[in-house]
Amino acid sequence: MTLKIGTHVSIAGSHVKAFERAKDAGENTFQIFTGNPRGWSAKDIDEETAVAFNAAYKKYGIDEVVAHMPYLPNLASPKDEIYGKSRDVLIREILRCRKLSIPYLVTHPGSHGGSGREFGIARVAEALTGALAAAEERAGAKTPFMILLENTAGTKNSIGGNFADIADILKITDETFPDAVGVCTDTCHAFAAGYDLTTADGFESTIADFEDTIGLERLKVIHLNDTKGDCASHLDRHEHIGLGRIGTEGLKRVVTHPILSKRIFILETPIDDRRGDKENIAVVKAMAGEN
């Protein structure tokens, strides 16, 4: 079985260049920001770009692309202005994904800013269902598309540091949009939040916890990252595959697991003088027994 694997690639120059960058690094899937990740606004995607992007899937032999929300939105914010703006960005990103035939949009649940877990969970769920409803109205048609909630490193006030947070959000969104919200699990974030992925026991109990709370069928994308921080350190510092605290053995369990190995793997690893995307991709393929 061939792994579905790619990295987060740049759209610098044009959206279509992302396909080229991914292909050059040996990838058969990839993740992008659809616009500037550091701003609230985004330049419209024109028709020409959309047509070229849609044609590129076939040309490059890539079936699925993943999009990631920009950094500024906070879907759990207690401040109405920030919350409203965040939901608007989510609606915009859903519509951009549809235009580019991107089936998955990854988002962090956000931070409740001291207003409490229950508040935060209800707030995120409301943002998701509200955005899905609004986007549906504007697009006029239903296409296969899912928002994926990403687990976080579990820093103070953040929602999603544990699987129960995500499960509780899904319970609410399932009432109106049962098939439109799934999960993306980041190995660096899970480890930073306290899930010990370095031992066989730790890995098995993490999987069991996920299965009991969320259910593995809801997991669509795995952000496969090693990390510079310790277990339960709440530090979000990605590291090259096998060179960090999770290490080769720990990450190998993830990519060779009978269920997890069928999911989409996206690496958000650094690019520096030690390695680039191509090298990290090759390391993971070797771990899985490919090539």
Site residues (vs Mn ion, CB under 5 A) = 150, 186, 223
Q: Supply the angle between the helices 117-139 and 80-99 in degrees, to the nearest 10.
A: 40
| Length of the chain (residues) | 291
The nearest distance, CB 74 to Zn ion, in angstroms, is 16
38, 80, 175, 201: the catalytic one is 38
Nearer to Zn ion, 38 or 58 (CB): 38
Is 168 an active-site residue?
no
The nearest distance, CB 58 to Mn ion, in angstroms, is 28
The nearest distance, CB 229 to Zn ion, in angstroms, is 10
Is 234 an active-site residue?
no
Is 104 an active-site residue?
no
The nearest distance, CB 144 to Mn ion, in angstroms, is 22
Is 150 an active-site residue?
yes
64, 249, 268, 279: the catalytic one is 268
Nearer to Mn ion, 93 or 186 (CB): 186
Is 108 an active-site residue?
yes
Is 189 an active-site residue?
yes
Q: Considering CB distances under 5 to 8 angstroms, the limit depending on partner class, which of Mn ion, Zn ion, none binds residue 21?
A: none
Q: In one letter, which amino acid is 155?
A: T
Is 138 an active-site residue?
no
- The CA-atom distances, in angstroms, between 75 and each of 13, 40, 44, 119 are 30, 13, 22, 11
Is 83 an active-site residue?
no
Do 257 and 207 contact (CB within 8 A), yes or no?
A: yes
Start-to-end C-alpha separation, the chain:
12
The residue ranges that bind Zn ion (CB under 5 A) are 236
Q: Considering CB distances under 5 to 8 angstroms, the limit depending on partner class, which of Zn ion, Mn ion, none binds residue 136?
A: none
The nearest distance, CB 269 to Zn ion, in angstroms, is 11
DSSP codes of every residue in 228-279: SSPTT-----EE-TTTSSSHHHHHHHHHHSTTGGGSEEEE----SSS--HHH
Nearer to Mn ion, 93 or 150 (CB): 150
Is 24 an active-site residue?
no
| CA-wise closest residue to 199 among 278, 137, 253, 275 | 253
Q: Considering CB distances under 5 to 8 angstroms, the limit depending on partner class, which of Zn ion, Mn ion, none binds residue 236?
A: Zn ion
d(CA 201, CA 106): 29
44, 46, 71, 138: the catalytic one is 71
Q: Which residues contact 275 (CB under 8 A, 6 or more apart)?
A: 240, 269
| Phi/psi at 267 (5° precision) | -90, 135
189, 218, 240, 245: the catalytic one is 189
8, 15, 238, 275: the catalytic one is 238
Residues with active-site annotation: 38, 68, 71, 108, 150, 186, 189, 223, 236, 238, 268
